[in-house]
Structure 1
Amino acid sequence: MKKILFRADASQDIGYGHVIRLLALAESLRNDFECVFVTRFLNSFIEEEINKICHKRIKLEEDETHFNQFLTMLEGDEIVVLDNYFFSTDYQQKIKKSGCKLVCIDDLADRHFVADAIINQIDITSYKSYSKESYTKLFLGLENALLRKDFLLIEQMDKKKEILIAFGGTDFNNLTYEYVKMTIDLKYHLSYKINIILNDQNEKYFDVEEFARKYENIQLYSKLSSKEVSDLMKRACSGILPSSSMCIEALALGINVVSGYYIDNQEYMFKYLNDNGYVNGYGDLNILDKDRLKIDLDECLRKDLDKSFMEKIQKSKENHKKHFVEISNT
């Protein structure tokens, strides 16, 4: 089988999104390609998630030598998939010169690409054009969503009076704590179960844990598998999430989401989801506005289940396989 090298990192500083969405892609391709995951940082959670999906994993040095270390392992007949913002045009050119095919996962369109293909879960071209080579193919939009299989099982949904709050693996602004506190102040916990996903390394983790101890209807989770996350999402009727891969997962499982952004790389996805009516657009999540949150969350809780988003992403797994077979054969 043709080998694909998936190159991404996850840490408390970087976040987990790059690795999670590459694992989603690998899951779509693992029956047709040899999937090898290459990364700098491994903890028990990431190691377990990689081992579930990929045929092999390779750990790179954690310092700056990782760039050259990866280049030296290339044999020239692989497909390389890059997912991070620090892979420059020059680095892409070095991979191409080795003879490898190259695919970049990107959501910013902030540099020139020499890759054979670019995958973006949203169609960013409504806001910004890609600088690319004439041969570079664009696979854009929800039909190319990077979702693990657990988030494509819409027939298994069983919606309850539950609200999901999740700000990703890092949440360095401690927004999980702030938004849980606002939902308590607004007394949502009296009528709804509040499920919270938060990394146990977050500096406000124990404060959030105190909320869970104090209030019967608040439950805190950490280090969940994709199936455990999807099980929570299948029950939730509404959620508060930034515009990230986890938001796409939530929408795919029928959650009415209050969404916004708290870092720059979430703004284009937020614009796309909000402009297309897929989320209730809060805007800048760093601005804590209890009245605004109540308006948006109440509207989400009143909405009926809309399956249009779910139906749009159902063919993404088939599309990824088709695209990579094409890339492999050219």
Structure 2
Amino acid sequence: MNRLLFRADGNAQIGMGHVMRCLALADILKADFSMRFAITDPTPAVHSLIESAGVTVVPLPDSADKAVFWGDIHHEDIVVLDGYSFDETFQRAVRARVRKLVFIDDLVKGHQVADVVINHAGGLSETNYDTAAYTKLCLGPHYALLRSDFLRPEGYGHSPSDGPIFVSLGGSDHQNTSLTVLEAIRQADATLPVRIVLGPFHPNRESVEAFKSQLPNLTILQNLSAVQMVDELQNCSLAITACSTIAYEVCAVNRPLIAIVTADNQTQLAQFLSEEKLALSVNFPTLLTRSIPVIALDKLLRLSIQSFFFSPENAAETVANQRRFFDGRSPERLRHIFQELTA
């Protein structure tokens, strides 16, 4: 069987985005490859998450010592890199040792020398990239790196008008933006049912638990499987998420979305969601300037939530726009790319 080796990290400092994209790809390719995942000092929860996806974990002792990775490489491996430290020099060193190299990108920086570069952010073209002549670019949501449960060509049906609000701010949520979102919902209507999914590195679950006194219909969830996440999204009337992979999962399941920039690397995706009207509102709290009145994030979110309830036609428009970009067929396209790499 063909061999696939992933290299990415995930922890409380950098979140779980790199790991989750790799696991989404692993899910798509599991029938065609034996798979390993090289990761620096994985926590027991992350170790278990990777193994539950049917991928063998290869723990690395120190991410700063990149050469440690060389010992885990086999010349027949197709290697998939996802991370911000894997620059041109590192890519060249890996590519010289392996069958083929794939790089999952979201920064659009530097000279790329991988055989394939995947960036599922929208609004990009090949002119945005500086690559080797042989590099194949797979750009945009038609190559969405989402677990297969989120990708149904036939769609998921209409969202229930009386469903709860779904909230998820990513794997780590350093600044506990979850509390700000819950406060905005309280300001809009404290009786609304809310189901919040906390990531494995959430800094303060106790503070979210304490908020139940202000939102009596708040349910707190954690460590959900892909199937469980799809169920939550299918049943919700509105989703409020970070501008990360979770926002793409909402778009793929076709639900009204309010998106929040929670990290600098989310700007490209946020701009795409905003320009193509895939979300009811995309808030850029880190990008406010003197020319824009500074409104607290909870107030901005409250206005967005109220707009959702008072303007259902806007929600219908965003859902229709989502379907144009997320057709559920990215696994077919990605499997074809990897079949070409093994030919």
Task: Tell me what 2:18 maps to.
Answer: 18
CA apart distance, 1:77: 1.7
Distance in 2 between the 1:48 and 1:313 partners? 31
CA apart distance, 1:318: 0.7
Distance in 2 between the 1:264 and 1:126 partners? 21
Task: Tell me what 2:79 maps to.
Answer: 80
Deviation string 1:50-93 (CA, Å, 9 cap, x unpaired) is 2232342211113522x112112222221100011111110000
Q: Percent identity?
A: 27
Distance in 1 between the 2:201 and 2:31 partners? 35
Deviation string 1:226-248 (CA, Å, 9 cap, x unpaired) is 22222211111112112110110
Task: Tell me what 1:208 maps to.
Answer: 208
CA apart distance, 1:214: 5.0
If the length of structure 1 is used for normalisation, what is the TM-score? 0.91
CA apart distance, 1:308: 5.0
Task: Tell me what 1:161 maps to.
Answer: 163
* Deviation larger for 147-156 or 256-265: 147-156
If the length of structure 2 is used for normalisation, what is the TM-score? 0.88
Deviation string 1:136-159 (CA, Å, 9 cap, x unpaired) is 111011110011122125447763
Instruction: Name the amino acid aligned to 2:306.
Output: D
Task: Tell me what 1:288 maps to.
Answer: 296
CA apart distance, 1:44: 3.4
Task: Tell me what 1:136 maps to.
Answer: 135
CA apart distance, 1:127: 10
Distance 1:200 1:133, change over 3 A: closer
Note if 1:146 corresponds to 2:159.
Answer: no
Distance 1:167 1:278, change over 3 A: same
Task: Tell me what 1:223 maps to.
Answer: 223
CA apart distance, 1:194: 0.9
Partner of residue 172 from structure 1, selected from 171, 174, 179: 174
- How large is the Cα RMSD of the aligned pairs? 2.2
Task: Tell me what 1:320 maps to.
Answer: 334
Distance in 2 between the 1:164 and 1:119 partners? 29
CA apart distance, 1:181: 1.3
Distance in 1 between the 2:63 and 2:341 partners? 32
CA apart distance, 1:321: 0.4
SS at match of 1:229: helix
CA contact (8 A) 1:45 1:223 kept: no
CA apart distance, 1:290: 3.9
What runs of 5+ residues in structure 1 fail to find an aligned partner? none
SS at match of 1:278: coil
What runs of 5+ residues in structure 2 fail to find an aligned partner? 287-294
Q: Following superposition of structure 1 onto structure 2, how do residues 169-318 of structure 1 map, counting pairs within 5 Å?
A: 169-187=171-189, 189-190=190-191, 192-199=192-199, 201-212=201-212, 215-285=215-285, 288-301=296-309, 302=312, 303-304=315-316, 306-307=319-320, 309-310=322-323, 312-318=326-332
CA contact (8 A) 2:120 2:140 kept: yes
CA contact (8 A) 2:167 2:196 kept: yes
Q: How many aligned residue pairs are there?
A: 326
CA contact (8 A) 1:4 1:81 kept: yes
CA apart distance, 1:179: 1.4
Distance in 1 between the 2:57 and 2:63 partners? 18
CA contact (8 A) 1:257 1:300 kept: no
Instruction: Name the amino acid aligned to 1:293.
Output: L
Deviation string 1:104-134 (CA, Å, 9 cap, x unpaired) is 1011111111000111112443697111111
SS at match of 1:306: helix
